[in-house]
Amino acid sequence: MKKISLLLLFLILVNCKEDKGLPVKHQASNKENPSLSYAEGFSVENYQDFKVLEIKNPWPKSDKTYRYALVNKEVAPKITLNKDEFDAILITPIEKIVVTSTTHIPALELLNVENTLIGFPDTNYVSSEKTRALIDEGLVRELGKNESINTEVLLELRPELVIGFGIDGNNKAFDNIQKAGIPVIFNGDWVETSPLAKAEWIKFFGVLYDKEKEADSIFKNIEADYLEAKKIAQNVTQSPTVLSGAMYKDIWYLPSGTSSEAILLKDANANYLWSDTTDKGSLSLNFEVVFDKAKEAEIWISPSYYSSLEAIEKASPHYTKFKAFQNKAVYSFVNTTGKTGGVTYFEMGMARPDLVLKDLIKITHPELLNDYEPHFFERLK
């Protein structure tokens, strides 16, 4: 009996030794995961004690996927996760954050967590009054240029998280930040093609701040507002023809038919003349090709960064040959700015496609939305 007992004890010790170091198997929670109706670039999976945030293809032609474990601060001392399974383990709700695009600012404000922002590159581009007030009070530090973030200042701030974006994933500043132990998550909202998919990334910020319900409610209101405006626009029978973009070094750049800009014009019941193109990104065309197709277009939307008809004419006398120019039916968002010059559309337009759509409906169907005042676009003088 003594030998048998010793053998059993030996086997127990061996099994314990073999199990040590193996990853803990976590059971998925019965709780439903946050529903995503449009966004494809991220997902969230709930487990009993933590969540997994997955970021997929955060820049064009990317095949990378990143996984982050999100653990509430009250639960964190009680569980152990295998770091090798994740790109980073984050304690939520985030209390100190750095974001790197003005498109991230509206999500922070809509969730009422803008006070967690402690650093931003190119602060003059921020147009929101709430966040500008934080900048003016010295609560948000200037971090230089987005292409070359001042890592010395950022490391001094020690944020818990940096939200970045990239066109190809190559960013030495982000690499250095991560080597210093500060996680960087690439936000891929801008890669989404649907306006509502871009807006749904507020749920990405919601999970970082343990505010999933608030984020879901905010998005549902934006979605409902957008779909209601779209429904109103579909009731009209006339669809004005629309031209977009302008030339840069003799090449005319304009949205392809698969872009969010084209989708917005379609939902506004406007006849965008390149809506049938399927290219990804923008189209690059010669002036003659554009002029031949759009010389009689009734409306010209977003003519690059030109802020007046005079500026357009000075750039090229060819522009004056378009019917839309001659009828002064040219509309742009570049003149709607914050007090330091940041263009409001670039900051808020992605988060509030419902407002952008209403602007476009007001332009293309002025008889609709009688009491509506545009937020971004105005007729160039």
Q: Do 93 and 120 lie in a common domain? A: yes
**How far apart are alpha carbons 230 and 216 in whole angstroms?**
21
**How far apart are alpha carbons 178 and 98 in whole angstroms?**
13
Q: Is residue 162 part of a domain?
A: yes
Q: Are 18 and 146 in contact (CB under 8 A)?
A: no
Q: Is residue 14 part of a domain?
A: no
Instruction: Please give, one letter per residue, the 3-state secondary structure of 202-250.
Output: HHHHHHHCCCHHHHHHHHHHHHHHHHHHHHHHCCCCCCCEEEECEEECC
Q: Do 285 and 209 lie in a common domain? A: no
Q: Is residue 25 part of a domain?
A: no
**How far apart are alpha carbons 218 and 97 in whole angstroms?**
21
Specify the pairing of strand 65-72 against strand 88-92: parallel
Element containing residue 141 per DSSP (H, E):
strand 141-142
Query: How many structural domains does the chain have?
Result: 2
| Domain with 278 in it | 234-379
Q: Do 159 and 263 lie in a common domain? A: no
Q: Do 253 and 360 lie in a common domain? A: yes
Q: Which two tokens stand for residue 192?
A: 């989404």
Q: Is residue 102 part of a domain?
A: yes
Under-70 pLDDT residues of the chain: 1-34
Q: Do 78 and 146 lie in a common domain? A: yes
Q: Which of 329, 240, 330, 253 is nearest to 290 (CA)?
A: 253
Q: Is residue 6 part of a domain?
A: no
Q: Do 289 and 352 lie in a common domain? A: yes
Q: Is residue 207 part of a domain?
A: yes
Q: Which of 119, 113, 77, 78 is nearest to 93 (CA)?
A: 113
How would DSSP label each residue in 338-364? Answer: -TTS-BHHHHHTTT-HHHHHHHHHHHH
Element containing residue 172 per DSSP (H, E):
helix 172-179
Instruction: Please tell me the predicted confidence (pLDDT) of residue 26.
Output: 52
Instruction: Please tell me the predicted confidence (pLDDT) of residue 169.
Output: 74
Q: Do 239 and 211 lie in a common domain? A: no
Residue 101, domain CATH: 3.40.50.1980
**How far apart are alpha carbons 379 and 381 in whole angstroms?**
6
Domain boundary among 163, 197, 222: 222
Please give the single-letter amino acid code of residue 156.
E
Q: Is residue 36 part of a domain?
A: no
Instruction: Please tell me the predicted confidence (pLDDT) of residue 35.
Output: 81
Q: Which two tokens stand for residue 119?
A: 């650093």
Domain boundary among 222, 253, 282: 222
Q: Do 140 and 238 lie in a common domain? A: no
Instruction: Please tell me the predicted confidence (pLDDT) of residue 318.
Output: 96
**Which residue carries 């709700």 as its tokens?**
93
Q: Dihedrals φ, ψ of 105, to 5°?
A: -60, -45
Instruction: Please tell me the predicted confidence (pLDDT) of residue 146.
Output: 72
Q: Do 182 and 249 lie in a common domain? A: no
Q: Is residue 215 part of a domain?
A: yes
Peptide bond into 374 cis (omega under 30): no
In angstroms, the Cα distances linking 47 to 28, 51, 53 are 4, 6, 11
Domain boundary among 163, 196, 222: 222
Radius of gyration, alpha carbons of the chain? 25
Q: Compute the half-sphere exposure of residue 330: CA atoms within 13 Å on the CB side of its CA.
A: 27
Q: Are 46 and 29 in contact (CB under 8 A)?
A: yes
Q: Is 236 exposed, middle or buried (0-12, 13-18, 19+ CB in 10 A)?
A: middle
Q: Do 167 and 65 lie in a common domain? A: yes
Q: Do 204 and 310 lie in a common domain? A: no
Q: Are 154 and 177 in contact (CB under 8 A)?
A: yes
Q: Are 119 and 140 in contact (CB under 8 A)?
A: yes
Q: Do 110 and 249 lie in a common domain? A: no
